Every structure is written in structure tokens, then in C-alpha cells.
Structure 1
Amino acid sequence: MNIAIWIVQGIVALGFIFSGWMKTFQYEKAKASWSWVKEVSRGVVSFIGIAELLGVLGLILPQATNIAPALTPLAAIVLFGAVFHIKRKEYQEIGVISFSWR
């Protein structure tokens, strides 16, 4: 079971690294890929990207270093971004790996 959890954490982390990187450092590419980015300020998009990148650290480091591993589930708070997309009826945007290559 532990191996399965690490695999899931790794896949989720990779998705958030990609997503957070685009939102933080490749704004124009993010704007072309995700329709919602056009409707919020660049600052909000960057904030979300930074939160996702920090969430990756929180997802992996506590468990990997065995320092406060109980904090790892708190990193899942980043997943509350799904609520944003549900409210906007953007169901295709909810998946971590739901992006378009452009």
C-alpha cells in the first residue's frame, strides 16, 4: 500500500509541477491553454501557480523526510481548486493532468 501511495503522490506532484510552472513562469502559455486564465488577473494566476509549487513540496517532503508526515494530507488543500472549476462548469479542467499541449 505504501508503494501505491508514493506512486499516486508522484503522479499528482508531476501534474502540479507542470501546472504551477506554467502559471508562475509561462503566463502566456497558460493563458493559451486554460480559458479561465483570461478571466482572472495575472497576479491571481501567479499566486495559484506558486501555491501549487509549494503544495508539491508539502506533498512529498514531510513523508520523505519523516518530519511531520501528518502534514502531507494538508498539502491536498491545493485540490480545492477543483471547486473553482466546478462552480464555473469547467469539468474538463479538474483533472491534474488535464492540459492541452500548445
Structure 2
Amino acid sequence: MNLTLWIASALLAAVALTGGISKTFVPKPKLAAHEGGEWTRNASVGFVKTLGVLELLAAVGLILPAVIDIAPVMVPVTAVCWVLLMTGAMITHGRLGQNKLVMLNSVYLLLAVFVACGRFALEPFTG
């Protein structure tokens, strides 16, 4: 179970890192031009960049606390925050009729629920 939770955390961290880098460093017009980025057209640059920074923090929070054994409880806390972020993403993409992205976000949400439940109850880092 521990290995499965690590793999799920790593997958979510990779997704968060990818999304965070693109939202933080790619110009908004370029994001809006890509499939799935249409939502940025009606969002401020600050909002998009803030989401990007939150995703970068999530990438760190899903892995680093456990690796360095400082506040490892932050891993499931971060996973719960990821659930909230994915809920917002699902609502946003749903309003735009982007059902494939809603499904993809729901997979990320379920992985985050698995990590949160797993690290809070099934296989916590602290005994």
C-alpha cells in the first residue's frame, strides 16, 4: 500500500508541476490558444498565475514533506487541497462543455482522495 500511495503522490505531483509551470510561466494569450486553456480568456493574469503557483506548491507538498520527514502530515493535507482545486477545475471545464477535461480532472481528484485517505488513515507516515 505504501508503494501505491507513493506512486499516486508522484503522479499527482507531476501533473501539478506541469500545470503549475505552464500557468506560472507561459503567457496568458498562449495558454488561451491551446485546447483546455480557453478558460483563461476570461480570467485575469494574476488569477492564472496564482493558480500556477498553487499547483507548484502542491507538487512540492505531495512529496517533499515525506522525503525530508518534516511535517509529513502535509502530504495528505496537500492532497485534500488538490481535491478542492480539481473540483473547481471540473466546474470550470464543465461550464465550457469540455467533458474530456472534466473526466481527466475527476481522475486526478480520485487519486488525491486515495492519497489523502491513505496517508491520513491506511498508511500514515507517523506511527
TM-score by length of 2: 0.67
Query: Which residue of 77, 83, 87 corresponds with 1:79?
Result: 83
How far, CA to CA, are the matches of 2:74 and 2:99 in structure 1?
28
SS for the counterpart of 1:81 is helix
How far, CA to CA, are the matches of 2:10 and 2:20 in structure 1?
15
Q: 1:5 to 1:91 in 2, by over 3 A?
A: same
Cα-to-partner distance string for 1:20-71 (whole Å, 9 max, x where unaligned): 0000001343222311111110100000000100111111011111111111
Does residue 64 in structure 1 map to residue 67 in structure 2? yes
Long gaps (5+) in structure 2: 109-127
How many residues align structurally? 98
Q: What is the aligned partner in structure 2 of residue 31 from structure 1?
A: 32
Q: Which moved more, 1:18-27 or 1:64-73?
A: 64-73
Q: 1:15 to 1:29 in 2, by over 3 A?
A: farther
Cα-Cα RMSD: 2.1
Q: What is the aligned partner in structure 2 of residue 44 from structure 1?
A: 47
Q: Which moved more, 1:69-78 or 1:89-98?
A: 89-98
How far, CA to CA, are the matches of 1:16 and 1:24 in structure 2?
12
SS for the counterpart of 2:76 is helix
How far, CA to CA, are the matches of 1:16 and 1:69 in structure 2?
18
How much identity, in percent, do the aligned residues show? 30
Kindly state the Cα deviation for residue 5 of structure 1 after the two structures are TM-superposed.
0.9
Long gaps (5+) in structure 1: none
